[in-house]
Amino acid sequence: MTIQATAAMHDTDATILRAQVVQCTREAFAAYSIDVDLDEGDPGPPAHEAQIVAFIGFGGARLRGTLTVMAPQQLWQMTYPIAVADGGEAGANDLLDWCGEVVNQVLGRIKNQLTRRGVELQVSTPKAIHARQLTISRSAQRSVCILRARSERGAAIGVWFDAAVETTGMLFRSASEAVPADAEESMIEGDLLMF
Amino acid sequence: MAKKVMVVDDSRTMRQQVGIVLTAAGFEVIEADDGIDGLEKVQQTADLAMVLCDVNMPRMNGLDMLAAVKSDVRFTDLPFLMLTTEAQPALITRAKQAGAKGWIVKPFKPELLVAAVRRLVGAV
């Protein structure tokens, strides 16, 4: 796994961000019964099988960037939450729509973790596209982490968290100070709160 | 007669997923794909029982839609339940102050969703 902090981003901040990306990607796919094993190193040579790339932007007073998730079409199909008649597959447009929702949920988890550390973000609406032989090109200035994941079923997943800090100081406070006092009361995925 | 629940989300798959759950629970589901569409359909739909609404959407987000609907005296009492990946306390507080009745963080648990809808509109 590669961590590459920007010139302005402290290594400690990059390490925290990387840990959140790993944890949240793992949890998001696990919610759809896909276990992913994120390992070190770049995603490697482009896959020849049909891929779908889903991406979503984020921004705030202290951090901005993009989250991109690339995986084989067949793996995305496994996460599709609606039963398709006769055991068939989701249509192309439905699957693209769903991939956008999944990357939105991955970023949502990251965003909610960062909120607890005092970093608030606004997110864009997600997009997804079909691709073949696509490679992730590292930005020397911005990439926080590029992860290669392998699902339990063997399919490779590429996760690219590309971010720039908008502050000259530390993005996060130290780990022991990072979580606000009321974080225990904050909602997590799947929670319901009635007013 | 089944009670009408509007599902507002820019993801068609999410609308379908919610729709399947609520239809199986006996509700009639009406879909809208962003806040503008949702606002128009609220005004056009008779006997709407409640709105289930995403937050981050193009054109008009869910919190702005909530505020717009609640500013119309005809819909002051129309229950809103927010369904979103967001969990920022500031957004939750904003929704509560604008008149929403609840907040669910995606991915949702079907049994919790149905329980919340039933609590707001009554069992069907």
What are the tens digits of pLDDT across the range A43-86?
566 667 788 999 999 999 889 999 999 988 988 998 999 887 66
State residue A6's pLDDT score. Answer: 47
Minimal C-alpha gap between A86 and chain B (Å): 17
Partners of B115 on chain A (C-beta within 8 Å) are 192
B91 and A169 in contact (C-beta within 8 Å)?
Answer: no
- What is the rounded average pLDDT of the residues A147-176? 74
State residue A132's pLDDT score. Answer: 81
| Top-confidence residue, B81 or A149 | B81
Answer whether B92 touches A (CB < 8 Å): yes
User: What are chain A's domains?
Assistant: 2-169 (3.40.1550.10)
Task: Report d(CA A39, CA A27) in Å as an integer.
Answer: 15
**Residue of A97, A190, A193 lying closest to B108 (CB–CB):** A190
Lowest mean pLDDT, pick from A3-17, A89-103, A156-170: A3-17
State residue B37's pLDDT score. Answer: 98
- What is the rounded average pLDDT of the residues A5-25? 80
Q: Is the pLDDT of residue A177 over 60?
A: no
Length of chain A equals 195
User: What are chain B's domains?
Assistant: 4-121 (3.40.50.2300)
State residue A47's pLDDT score. Answer: 67
Minimal C-alpha gap between B46 and chain A (Å): 25
**Residue of A98, A123, A188 lying closest to B87 (CB–CB):** A188
Task: Report d(CA B63, CA B81) in Å as an integer.
Answer: 11
Answer whether B16 touches A (CB < 8 Å): yes
Q: Verify whether the Cβ–Cβ distance A192 to B56 is below 8 Å.
A: no
Minimal C-alpha gap between A22 and chain B (Å): 18
Whole-number average pLDDT of chain A: 80
Q: Verify whether the Cβ–Cβ distance A187 to B105 is below 8 Å.
A: yes
Task: Report d(CA A59, CA A172) in Å as an integer.
Answer: 16
Q: Verify whether the Cβ–Cβ distance B20 to A100 is below 8 Å.
A: no
- What is the rounded average pLDDT of the residues B10-20? 96
Which stretch of DSSP H or E encloses residue A150? strand A143-151
Q: Is the pLDDT of residue A4 over 80?
A: no
**Which segments of chain B does DSSP mark as H helices, in order?**
12-24, 35-44, 62-70, 89-98, 110-121
Give tens-digit pLDDT for B90-114. 899 999 999 999 999 999 999 999 9
The SS3 assignment for A128 reads strand
